[in-house]
Structure 1
Amino acid sequence: MSTGKITGTENAGQTDQLSVVTTATDGIRVLSLAGEIDHHTGDTLRQALDASGTPHPRIVVDLHQVTFMDSSGINILITAHQALSEAGGWLRLAAASESVMRTICIVGVDTFIDCRDTLRQALTN
């Protein structure tokens, strides 16, 4: 298992940030996120989801510590899903809080990105 951490930079007066801890389990990259996903922290998520050059990339995004996600986060997830699918891989979302899952469902992301209740479920077929 490999691990790494990316932390979003803070803007002046901006106290919210997004941290990303990256691990790998059975060839699946797991991104454990904590904080808020918005236009201030979106680049951190975008960089973590980049799988260019990886054949058949599989990524699970663990959302259980994400407290807020706006349309910026939704757009980043949609773009990543498309890129991963085109590369022969997939993206799954796991353990989203009720408020984050509500956002995902309102815009219909759950109809084309696989959303699982737990990280364990997301790591199994």
Structure 2
Amino acid sequence: MSEGEMTEAEPAAQGGQLTVVTTTTDGIRVLALSGEIDYHTGDILRQALQVSGTPRPRIVADMRQVTFMDSSGINILINAHNTLSEAGGWLRLAATSEPVMRTITLVGIDSFIDCRETLRQALGN
């Protein structure tokens, strides 16, 4: 294997990228996610979903630019949902892309994590 071939294989082994932009709207933390949620990027999402010392924490994850999510992402969302619920808060998913929503529906987490079609709907009551 030549040196060039090794370099080309490295990005695939590292997985896709995930970026998170955090804002606050009416006391609700909004996480605008972009990229892939998998084993390699899960810690980024896990850290963004952490809450400490916030009474009744409310988080909306804007999923419109998430192109892929595997079981790592599912587990992170379930754990965040449980943690937020125990603290008297909630987690909502907004504008989830069709491929990611298919995974969410298949696993069944849409039965207990509130999924809204738009960010505006997720920020409402």
Confirm or deny a common fold (TM above 0.5).
yes
Name the CA distance, whole Å, in 2 between partners of 1:56 and 1:20.
22
Q: Please identify runs of 4+ aligned residues in structure 1 that moved more than 2 A.
A: 10-15
Q: 1:71 to 1:12 in 2, by over 3 A?
A: closer
Q: TM-score, normalised by structure 1?
A: 0.89
Query: How much has 1:52 moved relative to structure 2?
Result: 1.9
More displaced stretch, 55-64 vs 15-24: 15-24
Q: Any stretches of 5+ residues in structure 2 without a counterpart?
A: 1-9
Aligned alpha-carbon RMSD (Å) = 1.5
Give matches, 1:58-97, under 5 Å: 58-97=58-97
**One-letter identity of the residue aligned with 2:79:** T
Query: How much has 1:14 moved relative to structure 2?
Result: 2.5
Q: Any stretches of 5+ residues in structure 1 without a counterpart?
A: 1-9
Matched-pair identity in %: 77
Name the CA distance, whole Å, in 1 between partners of 2:39 and 2:15.
13
Q: TM-score, normalised by structure 2?
A: 0.89
The SS at the match of 2:14 is coil
Which residue is equivalent to 2:121?
121
Which string of whole-angstrom CA distances, capped at 9 and with x for unpartnered residues, describes residues 91-116 of structure 1?
00000011000000000000000000
Which string of whole-angstrom CA distances, capped at 9 and with x for unpartnered residues, describes residues 25-62 of structure 1?
00000000000000000000000000121110000000
